[in-house]
Amino acid sequence: MNNTNDAKKTKDTKTGNIYNSRAEAGQAIAPELGLDPNKDGIWFEVASQCPLGRFVDVASGLPIKRTGRV
């Protein structure tokens, strides 16, 4: 059973990189958007600024919405 707080592997379709968690993806992409990668909740800010389809949930294969959720 998956806990909603478990790390969720995330693929960046622009770079092909797979991150072990949404937070890791947010920290990696933040500088590209001029954001502080150390900011709390950076994943949600990154997801909201990137186009739909940029990130995919590895487990389900579904695109991650701009809300930061599948």
pLDDT, position 18: 98
Q: Tally Cβ neighbours within 10 Å of residue 20.
A: 12
pLDDT, position 1: 46
Helix (H) or strand (E) holding 55: strand 55-57
CA distances to 8, 12, 38, 63 from 18, in Å: 10, 6, 20, 14
Q: Is the predicted pLDDT of residue 69 greater than 80, yes or no?
A: yes
pLDDT, position 3: 66
Q: Report the DSSP beta bridge partners of residue 19.
A: 10
Domain ranges of the chain: 10-57
Q: Are 49 and 38 in contact (CB under 8 A)?
A: no
Q: Are 26 and 32 in contact (CB under 8 A)?
A: no
> pLDDT for 2-47, tens place per residue?
566 789 999 999 999 999 999 999 999 999 999 999 999 999 999 9
